Chains A and B, each alone.
Chain A
Amino acid sequence: MTAAAHDLMTVASLTVDYRQQGQWHSVIRDLSLAVRRGEILGLAGESGCGKSTLASVLLGERRGERRLRAGSVQFDGIDLSTLRARELRRLRGVRLALVPQNGGASLTPTLRIGSLFAETLRAHRPHMNKAELAAEARRQLSQVGLPDPTGALARFPHQFSGGQQQRIALALALCRMPDLLILDEPTTGQDAMTRRGIIDLLIRLRLSSRMSMLYVSHDLATLSEICDRIAIMHAGEIVEIGQMEDVLLRPRHPYTRALVASIPRLEAPPDPALLPASRRTPERITA
């Protein structure tokens, strides 16, 4: 197999700059990475190292305050930077989908959940009728464990909790069954049970449809449950990439070592005495 045949998304020597006060600053530097067909690749790294930037560049997003200074991004052999807007649009949502980091803010406040699904489904399949659209949206919403999917369709984003909004964003990304799903911290704000459910869903999806995923998180514990390979990002570069066990058990880069060392060993409830004073049960103050 050639590299191109078993890699779905290839990033080669990518450098991305942001403009701030008229100056360009590199946020991603000479980064190379490939997501293979059917794999779940984890991407970990500290806050601000450029993970979300990379995720949106992978969808071919073009923005005024950002430029791709060097390198290329290829999806299934297609160079995204040379695509015309219309061709790019045909990829997005259909073959390439993103679950954004801040799911709640990614839902248009003036539209009901039902309309968000309808327009997303219809954008590429104009012939679905209302009943089909609603049925499909309900199926997706119950898949991510949202209670009362039927009622949810008639509601607005702000009527859901942060964790529920995140799951709605996930369902929206899933509804076209993309070839590559990019997830930017999809489980932040979820309780342990729901996180378990989402992870199980992603694993099931991967098995049933061979969907490829790039799973961005700084939570190594979650990544270790779900990913085949993991890439460690630091200050805009990939410092280490390899099989999950290799990286976790034999970290080579100092940053990876520090990261692995910081995984909590067991999840015991915190000792109340160690909590900051503000979180302790208040003692009654008498006058």
Chain B
Amino acid sequence: MRVAPIPRLIVTRLALSVLSLFVVSLIVFSAVELLPGDTAERILGREATKESLAALRTQLRLSDPAPERYARWLGGIVQGDFGRSLVADRPVFSYIAGYLGRTLLLGGLALLIHIPLSIGLGLLAAARPDGASDLALSAAVLIGMSIPEFVVGIFLIMLLANDLQLFPPLALIDQAKSFGDVIHMLALPVITLNFAMTAYVVRQTRNSMIEVLKSDYVRMASLRGLSPLRVLFVHALPNALSPAINAIALNASWLVGGIVVVEVVFNYPGLGRLLVESIRFHDVPMIQGAALALSAAYIAVNLVADIATLLLNPKLRTRTA
């Protein structure tokens, strides 16, 4: 009974994640099957002769039944072989890695700002629990929820990049020469992403902190003579955090979707934009690779968020299930 069954819970979630990935791969594979034409036509283009098409089809074994081709494709992916890009004529894998890295950089940076910023603001707001801040927060949540991120991004570009010239309008990160450049370029996309995420977490943190500060255990902690800092950070904060973590987890998974649009707005060479572009060019292996990688990132983010929630809640942590 004393052994926390947490590893088992984590294994269950992990298994579910793998299953989800598997389903994603099925969907990705079947979706591109719906594209007009077949791979041979896409590779050789319009001018291809019948003979060369037939030859390539046999070579690629395109006449095999779909399940067989799926199995072969999945087998390749497991070994890191995502095929060759039709447009760039290079292995997809080498592309994906760089684009994934840049997407993670943008997303990670956005979260890095988001977590302390929103929790900090929430704590500040909890220090003054009056009606006015509540109303302001609710309004901010509503606005953050209601304005699409591409609108926010474009207006930020107009205001901060074009008028005030504070930041570059496009995040052409390949041209960055120093870490400072990177930060400077990513500022606007990061602000855009935070625009939608912040207010909700601030409100959750504030409300739960106000509740927790009134709780018996926080009162007793200071009545036992503990220092105010200890009461705040050891007794109150961890218990107030769980709704905030849930909200952040929701935001993190929203982020994976929101980032697609934001990458396009700022011409940022990440996975989202890569996916959008490859769909436009019908670059099947690239579509498959980018969609899989992005989905994997999403599933991983959810997994991490689940586990974080689990670890922070001792009731779940010690549940004998």
A binding-site residues for B, Cβ under 8 Å: 56, 59, 61, 85, 89-94, 97-98, 100, 102, 105-111, 119-120, 123-124, 151, 154-156, 158-159, 169, 172-173
Contacts and interface: CB of A to CB of B under 8 A. Distances in A.
Kindly list the 7 A-B residue pairs having the minimum CB-CB distance in the complex, ordered from nearest: A93-B225, A92-B225, A105-B216, A106-B220, A108-B217, A156-B314, A93-B224
Interface in B56-102: none
23 contacts: A56-B219, A61-B222, A61-B223, A85-B228, A89-B222, A89-B227, A94-B225, A98-B223, A100-B216, A100-B219, A100-B220, A100-B223, A105-B216, A108-B234, A108-B239, A109-B239, A110-B312, A120-B225, A123-B224, A123-B230, A155-B2, A156-B314, A158-B318
A266 to B, nearest CB: 36
Nearest to A148: B2
Nearest to A120: B224
B235 A108 contact: yes
Interface of B: 1-2, 215-228, 230, 234-235, 238-239, 312, 314-315, 317-318
B187 to A, nearest CB: 36
A92 B224 contact: yes
Nearest to B235: A108
Given A92-B224, A93-B224, A151 B2 contact: yes
Contact of A159 (B224, B312, B318): B318
Given A89-B225, A92-B225, A151-B2, A110 B239 contact: yes
Contacts of B220: 98, 100, 106-107, 169
Give the residue among B2, B216, B221, B224 with the most A Cβ atoms within 10 A: B224
Contacts of A59: 223
A53 to B, nearest CB: 13
A158 to B, nearest CB: 6
B242 to A, nearest CB: 9
Contacts of A106: 216-217, 219-220
Contacts of A92: 222-225
B226 A119 contact: yes
A154 B221 contact: no
Contacts of B223: 56, 59, 61, 92-93, 98, 100
Nearest to B217: A108
Contacts of B215: 105
B234 A111 contact: yes
Contact of A123 (B216, B225, B239, B318): B225
A156 B2 contact: no
Contact of B227 (A102, A123, A151, A159): A123
B314 A158 contact: yes
A169 to B, nearest CB: 8
A110 B236 CA distance: 9
A102 B219 CA distance: 12
A238 B218 CA distance: 30
Given A91-B225, A93-B224, A97-B224, 16 more contacts: A59-B223, A89-B227, A92-B223, A92-B225, A100-B219, A106-B217, A108-B217, A108-B234, A109-B217, A110-B314, A111-B234, A120-B225, A154-B2, A155-B318, A156-B317, A159-B1
Nearest to B220: A106
Give the residue among A91, A100, A154 with the most B Cβ atoms within 10 A: A100
Nearest to A155: B2
Nearest to A110: B238
B173 to A, nearest CB: 40
Nearest to A172: B224
A254 B63 CA distance: 100
Nearest to A62: B222
B318 A105 contact: no
Contacts of A123: 224-227, 230
